[in-house]
Amino acid sequence: MENGMMNMKTPTNVTIKGILGALMASIDEEKKKRVISLGMGDPTAYSCFTTNTVVQNSVVHTLETQKFNGYSPTVGLLQTRKAISEYLSINLPYKLTEDDVYITAGCTQAIEVAISILARPNANILVPKPGFPIYELCAAFRNVEIRHYDLVPDKGWEVDLEAVDALTDENTVAIVIINPGNPCGNVYSYQHLKKIAETAKKHKILIVADEVYGHLAFGENPFVPMGVFGSMVPVLTLGSLSKRWLVPGWRLGWLVTTDPNGIFKNTKTVERIKKYFDICGGPATFIQAAVPRILEDTKEVFFTKTLCTLKQTSDICVKKIKEIPCLTCPQHPQGAMAMMVKLNVSLLKDISDDIDFCFKLAKEESVILLPGLTVGLKNWVRITFAAEPSSLEEAFDRIKTFYKRHCRQQKSQSNPI
């Protein structure tokens, strides 16, 4: 094997960015094919996923006032916290206040804070498989044990709650729920979320709800925030502007205690959160200051258009995958920006697994897909559908060509030679 990445055994020792870099490096440039990357979750690479002028002008405005060149309070600007509490309260049966909201450098830092404040000797956290590798990376850094529960592909990637029961012990502190989901494109029903909340309550663990794709739901189920069940079980809600407003580079996120019974306060969790913010800096003050306008003034039509495009591009993937025998998609995506696709290597003559598939595909066709192993599922691939429709069509045409070049001879097929 010419590439060291092919020897990769566990998903915990490599980052998505690391493996995507290795895939890019293996592209055969002599083929002179335009590179199409469906590996990374940054939609801004494609012009149909551009933010809107309201969002841009909000930032221009705050810069021009020259009032936001100084430090912000460690937990974030008051008006920003207030605006986010109001935005999230719209979908909750109770009201959050600014005291519930902490401003972070993207959802990534919110994950880092959540894991850090939960860390204690012998603690373990339940995370989904497939999942989002940042959780593993943060937990490893903080010596928190990770335990994987399965998402069930044939049940809309729902949480295997029996597995959760079996994994939980007295040292389990939290369960991470990503909804709408990356990498599966799932959107959970109210009923399923309720069952998750009941399970967490039964085991006396809290829920970390990664809702970075909040409202990015275009299928049957509407988006329901986990915080709806906040009076049953305390929830730490994580989010950001990155995905819904299409500005991942602005690094504006939040960590929110969605907990009307004040359990986080009583257990001194709030104190720990505040201490943590004393030692880490959040996003630039002028970006924070733009948030109230961004949340209030973004027109509904902007969101509708994004959802429409995501529905269209995910449909293209589903349709094109049907033409490629070695790929199947057990579940149509219902939200977010990525989907998991099953790879049947027994139909291919010289491909050993998902990593081999992705490296050869990159080399021969300049198409980048993420090997499933990096998100915990061997012989699957993650495909990001937040891409230009024409790029998706072309990518799948190339994957089909690749399949034909590598497929095993079918017995039923007559061979003239």
Task: State the residues that interact with ligand PLP by CB under 6 A.
Answer: 41, 106-108, 132, 178, 182, 210, 212, 240, 242, 248, 253
Q: How far is the CB of 297 from ligand PLP (least distance, A)?
A: 21
Residue 374 contacts which entry, ligand PLP, ligand NAG, none (Cβ below 5-8 A, type-dependent): none
Contacts of 53 (CB under 8 A, 6+ apart): none
Residue 288 contacts which entry, ligand NAG, ligand PLP, none (Cβ below 5-8 A, type-dependent): none
Residue 13 contacts which entry, ligand NAG, ligand PLP, none (Cβ below 5-8 A, type-dependent): none
Q: How far is the CB of 153 from ligand NAG (least distance, A)?
A: 12
- Axis crossing angle, helix 106-118 with helix 269-279, rounded to the nearest 10: 130
Residue 158 contacts which entry, ligand PLP, ligand NAG, none (Cβ below 5-8 A, type-dependent): none
Contacts of 414 (CB under 8 A, 6+ apart): none
Q: How far is the CB of 323 from ligand NAG (least distance, A)?
A: 15
> Tokens for 131?
């999942």
Cβ proximity to ligand NAG: between 122 and 346 the closer is: 346
Site for ligand NAG contains 307 (CB under 6 A): no
Distance CA 252, CA 287 (A): 7
Are 345 and 352 contacting, i.e. CB atoms less than 8 angstroms apart?
Answer: yes
Other CB atoms within 10 A of residue 344 CB: 11
Cβ proximity to ligand PLP: between 36 and 107 the closer is: 107
Residue 222 per-residue DSSP state: P
Residue 46 contacts which entry, ligand NAG, ligand PLP, none (Cβ below 5-8 A, type-dependent): none
Site for ligand NAG contains 346 (CB under 6 A): yes
Which secondary-structure segment (H or E) carries 146?
strand 145-152
DSSP string, 46-110: STTS---HHHHHHHHHHHHTT--SSPPPTT--HHHHHHHHHHHHTTSSS---GGGEEEESHHHHH
Using CB under 6 A, pick the residue from 97, 122, 266, 344 that binds ligand NAG. Answer: 344
Are 28 and 3 contacting, i.e. CB atoms less than 8 angstroms apart?
Answer: no
Q: How far is the CB of 410 from ligand NAG (least distance, A)?
A: 9
Distance CA 127, CA 220 (A): 25
Cβ proximity to ligand PLP: between 287 and 351 the closer is: 287
Cβ proximity to ligand PLP: between 77 and 138 the closer is: 138
Site for ligand NAG contains 267 (CB under 6 A): no
Cβ proximity to ligand NAG: between 272 and 342 the closer is: 342
Using CB under 6 A, pick the residue from 54, 140, 152, 347 that binds ligand NAG. Answer: 347
Residue 292 contacts which entry, ligand NAG, ligand PLP, none (Cβ below 5-8 A, type-dependent): none
Are 376 and 300 contacting, i.e. CB atoms less than 8 angstroms apart?
Answer: no
Q: How far is the CB of 138 from ligand NAG (least distance, A)?
A: 33
Residue 153 contacts which entry, ligand PLP, ligand NAG, none (Cβ below 5-8 A, type-dependent): none
Distance CA 38, CA 371 (A): 11
Distance of CA 35 to the CA centre of its chain: 23
Q: Which of 39, 26, 44 is nearest to 382 (CA)?
A: 39
Stretch that binds ligand NAG, among 39-47, 330-338, 339-347, 356-364 (CB under 6 A): 339-347
Q: What are the backbone dihedrals phi and psi of residue 337, each rounded to the nearest 5 degrees, phi first? A: -135, 10
Cβ proximity to ligand PLP: between 184 and 205 the closer is: 184
Cβ proximity to ligand NAG: between 180 and 371 the closer is: 371
Q: How far is the CB of 114 from ligand PLP (least distance, A)?
A: 11
Other CB atoms within 10 A of residue 397 CB: 15
Give me the residues that bind ligand NAG (CB under 6 A), please: 344, 346-347
